A and B are shown apart, each in its own frame.
Chain A
Amino acid sequence: MRYVATLLCGLLFGIGLTVSDMINPSRVLGFLDLFGTWDPSAAFVFAGALPVSALAYWLSRQRSRPVFDEGYHLPEGNRIDRRLIGGAVIFGIGWGIAGFCPGPALVATISGQTGVFLFLGAMFLGMAIHRMTLRA
């Protein structure tokens, strides 16, 4: 059942990214371009998403465990450190260059464009490089 629920959540997320047009990097770049013809779409996405996920978070606090697992697996740290800031800066530069972050890039594969696969290949390489630095 946990896998069925996971598939359902994945489907909803993918539908959401497509319906909201976040699948289109030009749309996202339009949001990030404050000094061009600004496109507010991505702000509406956050406005639609945050109340719903905040409500779910509040509900989760009323329950001792999730429906299909023994307990919650939530990030618990609250330290603002150099990794967090440095990672966010590096991520932000990449996001600003291409208009792609991981979710939209994955769903954009349905367009079949070579550029999407090039971006994803490089993204997974970046993740692999990060994983290697963990071992060293």
Chain B
Amino acid sequence: MEPLHPLWPLAGGALIGLSAGLYLLLAGRVAGISELAAGATGLSRRGFRPQAAIFVLGLIGGAWLAAHFVRMPEVVLPVPALPLAVAGLLVGFGSRLGSGCTSGHGVCGMARLSKRSIVATLTFMATAMVTVFIVRHGLGGF
């Protein structure tokens, strides 16, 4: 895969930070996508939340806009169906059990210097890196 010029992820990251920051300052909430995805589908503790559904629609709409007007991304999924489904189950269950994912803990929580979020982020980063190591260098890939 082509290396990506660092300005793209830096600019994209700044937009993600701006989104999370504005969501806090305007709506008073943490922009955690696992919680928003659960709220948008009625799977959160508080059931269906229209505000979460609007965020998720905006999220997908924003990606569509960026793909058509800024930079058409490639989506390369190098994983067969069975491990992909298992991964989905683990991501869904784990993000709810651990109260957050890369956005809620990684971006929002770390910015607030929340002890829980820092521990969670270090834990899932390390676990994911070990998993990739085992899959790619232990098992030789899928």
Contacts and interface: CB of A to CB of B under 8 A. Distances in A.
Given A34-B129, A126-B90, A19 B22 contact: no
Interface string B10-45: 111111111111111111111101100110010111
Contact of B79 (A55, A99, A123): A99
Contact of A91 (B27, B67, B101, B115): B101
B17 A53 contact: yes
Interface in A60-119: 60, 63, 65-69, 71-75, 77-80, 83-103, 105-111, 113, 115-116, 118-119
B contact residues, range: 35 or more
A contact residues, range: 35 or more
A44 B81 CA distance: 30
Contacts of B93: 87, 90, 126-127, 129-130
Q: Interface majority SS on A: helix, strand, loop or mixed?
A: helix
Interface string B116-129: 10011101111111
Nearest to B22: A9
A11 B57 CA distance: 8
B116 A72 contact: no
Given A95-B127, A106-B56, A127-B41, 17 more contacts: A6-B27, A7-B55, A13-B103, A18-B66, A26-B78, A29-B132, A32-B129, A46-B106, A50-B107, A60-B25, A75-B30, A75-B114, A94-B91, A102-B91, A115-B81, A123-B37, A124-B92
Interface of B: 1, 3-4, 6, 8-31, 33-34, 37-38, 41, 43-45, 50-51, 54-67, 70-71, 73-79, 81, 83-99, 101-103, 105-112, 114-116, 119-121, 123-133, 135-137
Give me the 3 closest cross-chain CB pairs, A-B, nearest first. Answer: A10-B58, A87-B98, A20-B12
Interface of A: 2-3, 5-27, 29-30, 32-36, 39-57, 59-60, 63, 65-69, 71-75, 77-80, 83-103, 105-111, 113, 115-116, 118-131, 134
